[in-house]
Structure 1
Amino acid sequence: MEKVTNNAYKAHCLVLSYPTQGHLNPMLEFSRRLEHKGVKVTLVTTRSMSKTIHKEASSIALETISDGFDEGGIAHAESIQAYLERFWQVGSQTLAELLEKLSSSGNPVDCMVYDAFLPWALDVAKKFGLVGAVFFTQSCAVHNIYYHVNKGLLKLPLSEAEILLPGLPPVQPQDMPSFIYDLITYPAVTDMLVSQFSNVDKADWVLCNTLYELEPEVVDWMTEIWPLRTIGPTIPSMFLDKRIKDDKDYGFCIFKPNSDACMKWLNNHPKGSVIYVSFGSLATLNAEQMEELAWGLRMSNSYFLWVVRASEKAKLPKNFVEETSEKGLVVHWCPQLEVLTHEAVGCFVTHCGWNSTLEALSLGVPMVAVPQWTDQPTNAKYIIDVWKIGLKATADEKGLVKREAIENCIREIMEGKRGKEIVKNAYKWKTLAKEAVDQGGSSDKNIQEFVTKLVHS
């Protein structure tokens, strides 16, 4: 579709994201899909988040609301609980003010797509008579687990050795999201994740960043309860169906990537020879785990490109960068999609965040799973046992993933028999991911249905 002029838009949708990179990216990509189908989109994040991101030129308008901590967001709150309560109070008020501003400036909003982490946004949407669509940024499997806790159907603390839930394979407690398995460390986060379902029954739509083919059983089960539609993977179009020509990257990033250095380095290495290592924008490893990972890479004797955020660099073993410069490149941040697409990359050592998982799966890259917390253990379970596109570097009884485990997984994927099967499976999922968002694919049809009903509502 050609670019639409302002007065030719079919409807106006406000898209509200929770203020982290991992939530903003998929919601921005969904916004681009909507815009491509003729919907005007205003993307909304917090004032504190907007100050930290590098924004590239985009036809999608960016507006902000307040979380009550405009100078520093959650880092300035005394606790997670205090932040979430203040965000609810101030966010509701400033969101209502934004809706009024847009209405009085001749751009009234018809629909609000809101992040599931912010259920109070639906109450604001309904006060203004808007269509309300909740957007789940994690997998359907993970949300099914939280739903069962919310309804009291899955009792905490977990007491069974194996947990059976509809639509899911049998899972052990350690395969569950960390906030369900460990109730002590972040009780406020557990409450927030479970309360995503507090008013979901009042939403007009439930949108999930996955593709039907990836989780058919759980999607079918959840669709019996809600008007759920899969709309993913939310990855820039030029890496999938290539129908949105200027959609080459996410367009927002907290960290400036070392793009030239990464790509030049990769260009000098043979096909499938490089291990790419990244633990995303939030996960932190302790110094002992960092050392084991460093030695695992070294012992694998493979080339590696390792993303170590500036805040984490002090944890690297002494002289590691210098001593491994023949084999490896360590950078603060890199353009992950471009790296994963590069033919030199043969394997991705990942924390299994949902965005990274979808990116690797959509680009056909085998994974070594080293899950840390939140939804990552559940994603790892699916990567290994359901989609069969990776191996898990298993932690010991102290929770430490030893160097030998990392080395063995890398060698198996790069050189072993199982590695060949994993590469074959990865290619299959790459094809299915592209088909889902291409014209007439499962996710494309769902987005089209959402737009059609929005226009005629």
Structure 2
Amino acid sequence: MATLSPEPHVAVLTFPFASHPALLFGFVKRLAEAAPRVKFTFFCTAEFNRSLFSKTSTTSTSNIVPHDIHDGVAENYVFVGKPMEDINLFLAIAADELRRGVEEVTLNSDRKITCILADAFLWFSCDLAQEIGVPWVPFWTAGACSLSIQIYTDLIRQTLGVEGNEGRMNEKLNFIPGFLGFRIGDLPAGIIFGNLEWPFFVMLYKMGEELVRADALVISSFEELDPDLIKNLKSKFKQVFSICPISLESPPQSSVSDEYGCLPWLEKHHPKSVAYIGFGTRAKLPENEIVALAEALEASATPFLWSMKDDLKKYLPSGFLERTRELGKIVAWAPQVQVLSHPATGVFITHSGWGSVMESIAAGVPLICRPFLGDQSLNTWMIENVYKIGVRIGGGMFTKEGAMDALQQVLLQEKGKMFSKQATAYKELAIEAVGPHGSSTQNFQRLLEMITA
């Protein structure tokens, strides 16, 4: 029997949807570069593994090894359009599939697994870690606000009930620490709204129950952004490591792909004048809202850079592209971190996904928010009422008048100056957090010590 290496080996378990794999992969790359003697096995679907590893130099991932897992979709399966159909298929096999993968890697590797670093959604990985006797470190890809709501799900359900709340959307929920004045309507689906028996919502509920078993919990934020929420979370967990914003440690601008020429285009514009528009990988703006936003941009003569898939351009108003050729630029993909960091960018029009929120905060750019799902409405509430760095689009969806009003508030009115000032203040805190003696840097070092022990 071959002798196993005593060097550490971390199993990285991903939730293979939306931006989750990329966020965890980016974080693991940082760990791998800081701890070259640690081996990381990255468990993800073949499609994501091909994409993530092909975009990265082999030198920066030499101690990260991909291991493909099944996505739960049977051969010849025909999707019928059910909500979260792909996610629910994966969840049906996830626990067994990841267990099989870990067992296979353990059998064939020259090192035993010494730690499990998992997307926090995969709550069942705590049992696997316990069985093999290693630390369980869940990674929460969102902020302290949405995690806090998940942790207090039982209290919310006991206090409000799970039925008959549809008419109470504007009532205030004041019994959760850190959420004074929070609207019931801004609770994520799966807490008291929606089909609570959906596998995805069951997963979130179980996660809220099981996370207390974590040896350490990693949050994609920085302590100075939500000090009261972080303090409360620390009272409930063994260790909480807020480690962000990663975007402040991005590669130099010269090494970033900009195939559509976004950055040179921005160079032609005045500081804080451009509206950057991007709705992430999963959110899709309805046809009528694409029209309304386009009309607002044109009518207000707001310079814009819009990241939009080619198949959505057909919904733009007739003649819009020709009329706004000098005013704006529409691209299939934009280097978002660099666009937000450019002096010409004055506002980010977004779905309020946490990754986008953190990138905007790190760049000091105010936001106009149009939330769709998940934690996005909650994040929007924080942006408006706690951070005070942006606005929710009036009525919750784009109309021409509502979009024009929001653009005017952020780019032209005195309120916009306050947003910009506050956003800059958070940017400075974020820079300090990832500095040599900052809170995120110290938390990162503590986590490194834990996984290399």
The bucket for the TM-score relative to the shorter chain is 0.7 to 0.9
- Greater CA deviation, 35-44 or 333-342? 35-44
Query: By how many angstroms is 1:185 displaced?
Result: 10
- Greater CA deviation, 101-110 or 353-362? 101-110
Equivalent position of 1:105 in the other structure: 109
- 1:141 and 2:145 matched: yes
Equivalent position of 2:220 in the other structure: 209
Q: Is the contact made by 1:230 and 1:446 (CA closer than 8 Å) also made in structure 2?
A: yes
- 1:50 and 2:41 matched: no
Equivalent position of 2:441 in the other structure: 444
Which amino acid letter does the alignment assign opposite residue 47 of structure 1? A
What pairs with 1:258-269 in structure 2 (closer than 5 Å)?
Answer: 259-269=259-269
Q: Is the contact made by 2:44 and 2:68 (CA closer than 8 Å) also made in structure 1?
A: yes
Equivalent position of 2:22 in the other structure: 25
Distance 1:175 1:112, change over 3 A: same
Query: By how many angstroms is 1:410 displaced?
Result: 1.3
TM-score normalised by the chain length of structure 1: 0.86
Which amino acid letter does the alignment assign opposite residue 238 of structure 1? E
Distance 1:162 1:82, change over 3 A: same
Equivalent-residue separation in structure 2 for 1:348 and 1:400 (angstroms): 16
Q: Which deviations, in whole Å up to 9, do the C-alpha atoms of 1:214-234 show, x marking residues without a partner?
A: 111111112111124233324
Equivalent position of 1:320 in the other structure: 320
**Structure 2 residue aligned with 1:407, among 390, 404, 409?**
404
Give unmatched runs, 5+ long, in structure 2: none
- Greater CA deviation, 69-78 or 192-201? 69-78
Q: Which deviations, in whole Å up to 9, do the C-alpha atoms of 1:21-76 show, x marking residues without a partner?
A: 42123212321332243143333212243356663324133322112227799968
What pairs with 1:390-405 in structure 2 (closer than 5 Å)?
Answer: 390-395=390-395, 399-405=396-402
Equivalent-residue separation in structure 1 for 2:77 and 2:215 (angstroms): 30
Which amino acid letter does the alignment assign opposite residue 353 of structure 2? G
Equivalent-residue separation in structure 2 for 1:72 and 1:386 (angstroms): 48
Q: Is the contact made by 1:238 and 1:248 (CA closer than 8 Å) also made in structure 2?
A: no
Q: Which deviations, in whole Å up to 9, do the C-alpha atoms of 1:415-439 show, x marking residues without a partner?
A: 2111111111111111111221222
What pairs with 1:243-258 in structure 2 (closer than 5 Å)?
Answer: none
Equivalent-residue separation in structure 1 for 2:197 and 2:348 (angstroms): 28
Equivalent position of 1:254 in the other structure: none
- 1:123 and 2:124 matched: no
Give unmatched runs, 5+ long, in structure 1: 1-6, 250-256
Equivalent position of 2:173 in the other structure: 163
Equivalent position of 2:351 in the other structure: 351
TM-score normalised by the chain length of structure 2: 0.86
What pairs with 1:190-205 in structure 2 (closer than 5 Å)?
Answer: 190-205=201-216
Query: By how many angstroms is 1:387 displaced?
Result: 1.0
Q: Is the contact made by 1:238 and 1:247 (CA closer than 8 Å) also made in structure 2?
A: no
Equivalent-residue separation in structure 2 for 1:72 and 1:236 (angstroms): 40
CA RMSD of aligned residues (A): 3.1
- 1:427 and 2:424 matched: yes
Q: Is the contact made by 2:247 and 2:359 (CA closer than 8 Å) also made in structure 1?
A: no
- Greater CA deviation, 111-120 or 306-315? 306-315
What pairs with 1:275-290 in structure 2 (closer than 5 Å)?
Answer: 275-290=275-290
The SS at the match of 1:191 is helix
Q: Is the contact made by 2:243 and 2:444 (CA closer than 8 Å) also made in structure 1?
A: no
What pairs with 1:304-343 in structure 2 (closer than 5 Å)?
Answer: 304-343=304-343
Equivalent-residue separation in structure 2 for 1:185 and 1:127 (angstroms): 30
What pairs with 1:369-408 in structure 2 (closer than 5 Å)?
Answer: 369-395=369-395, 399-408=396-405
Which amino acid letter does the alignment assign opposite residue 132 of structure 1? W
Distance 1:79 1:327, change over 3 A: closer
Q: Which deviations, in whole Å up to 9, do the C-alpha atoms of 1:327-347 show, x marking residues without a partner?
A: 011111111111111122111
Equivalent position of 1:92 in the other structure: 96
What is the identity percentage for the equivalent residue pairs of Structure 1 and Structure 2?
Answer: 27
Equivalent-residue separation in structure 1 for 2:276 and 2:6 (angstroms): 41
Equivalent-residue separation in structure 2 for 1:72 and 1:342 (angstroms): 46
Equivalent position of 1:301 in the other structure: 301
